[in-house]
Amino acid sequence: MKGRVTYCIVTIAALILSCSCRKEIIVPQDEENARDFITFYVKSTPTAATKALIEDTDDLIDQAPPIYVTDLSDNSPAFDNESVSHSGSGIWRSDKTWNESKTYSFSAYVASPSPNSTATDNRGGLTVTDNGGIVTVSQPKIYSTDKNVWADYLLSYRLNVNGADRPVVALELERVTTAVELYMTRSANMEDVIVDEIEFRNVATSSRFSIDYQATPDDTEGPGGTKHRWANNLYEDSRTDYTYTPANGIQLLAYDETAGRFAAANRVMNFLTVQQTAVSGTDLYVRYRVRENGSYNSYEAVFNLMDYSPRTWNIGHKVKYYISVDSSIELVGIIQKWEEVDFIEGVLLPK
- Among 22-36, 122-136, 190-204, which is the least confidently predicted range? 22-36
Amino acid 62: pLDDT: 63
Burial of 5 (0-12, 13-18, 19+ CB in 10 A): buried
Confidence of residue 244 (pLDDT cuts 50, 70, 90): very high
Question: Which region among 20-34, 35-49, 278-292 has the lowest average model confidence (pLDDT)?
Answer: 20-34
Give dist(CA 106, CA 161) in Å, integer.
8
Burial of 66 (0-12, 13-18, 19+ CB in 10 A): middle
Cα-Cα-Cα-Cα dihedral sign, residues 291, 292, 297, 300: negative
Q: Which of 37-41, 53-57, 61-65 has the highest mean pLDDT?
A: 37-41
* Mean of pLDDT values over 5-32: 41
Question: Which residue type is seen at 39?
Answer: T
Contact present, 296 and 156 (Cβ < 8 Å): no
The predicted structure's pLDDT at residue 230: 93
Longest dimension (CA), the chain: 81
Predicted pLDDT of residue 22: 38
User: What is d(CA 151, CA 124) in angstroms, rounded to the nearest whole number?
Assistant: 5
Q: Which residues pair with 31 in a beta bridge?
A: none
pLDDT exceeds cutoff 60 at 324? yes
236 phi/psi in degrees, rounded to 5: -65, -30
Does pLDDT of 205 surpass 80?
A: yes
Of the pLDDT bands very low, low, confident and very high (cuts 50, 70, 90), residue 167 is very high
User: pLDDT higher for 19 or 36?
Assistant: 36
Q: Which of 24-33, 294-303, 305-314, 322-331 has the lowest mean pLDDT?
A: 24-33
CA distance 204 to 143: 13
Q: Which of 30, 28, 39 is nearest to 166 (CA)?
A: 39
CA atoms lying within 13 Å on the CB side of residue 321 = 28
Mean pLDDT of 36-65: 58
Residue 161 pLDDT exceeds 60: yes
Q: How confident is the model at residue 223 (pLDDT cuts 50, 70, 90)?
A: low
- Model-level pTM? 0.81
Cα distance between residue 298 and residue 284, in whole Å? 17
In terms of DSSP bridges, do strands 168-171 and 37-42 run parallel, antiparallel, or are they unpaired? parallel
Look at 283-287, 305-309, 327-331 and tell me which has the smallest mean pLDDT. Answer: 327-331
Q: What are phi and psi of 110, to 5 degrees?
A: -120, 130
Most confident by average pLDDT, 107-111, 124-128, 200-204, 294-298:
200-204
pLDDT at 7 over 60: no
> Which residues lie closer than 8 Å to 24 by C-beta, 6 or more apart?
none
Percent of the chain with pLDDT over 70: 73
Domains of the chain are 16-177 (2.60.40)
How far apart, in Å, do the first and last CA atoms of the chain sit? 16
Q: Are 347 and 329 in contact (CB under 8 A)?
A: yes
| pLDDT at position 25 over 60 | no
Name the percent of the chain lying above pLDDT 90: 39
d(CA 68, CA 166): 19
Q: Which residues pair with 15 in a beta bridge?
A: 317
- Whether 200 contacts 284, CB under 8 Å: yes
Instruction: Give the separation between CA 344 and CA 335, rounded to whole angstroms.
Output: 6
The whole-number average pLDDT for the span 169-188 is 86
pLDDT of residue 64 exceeding 80, the answer is no
Residue 49: its pLDDT value, please? 34
Is the predicted pLDDT of residue 240 greater than 70, yes or no?
yes
> pLDDT (tens digit, 9 = 90+) per residue, 121-151?
688 889 999 999 999 999 999 999 988 788 8
57's enclosing H/E stretch is helix 57-63
Contact 177, 129 (CB under 8 A): no
At residue 21's C-alpha, the angle toward residues 16 and 27, to 5°, is 135
pLDDT on residue 34 = 61
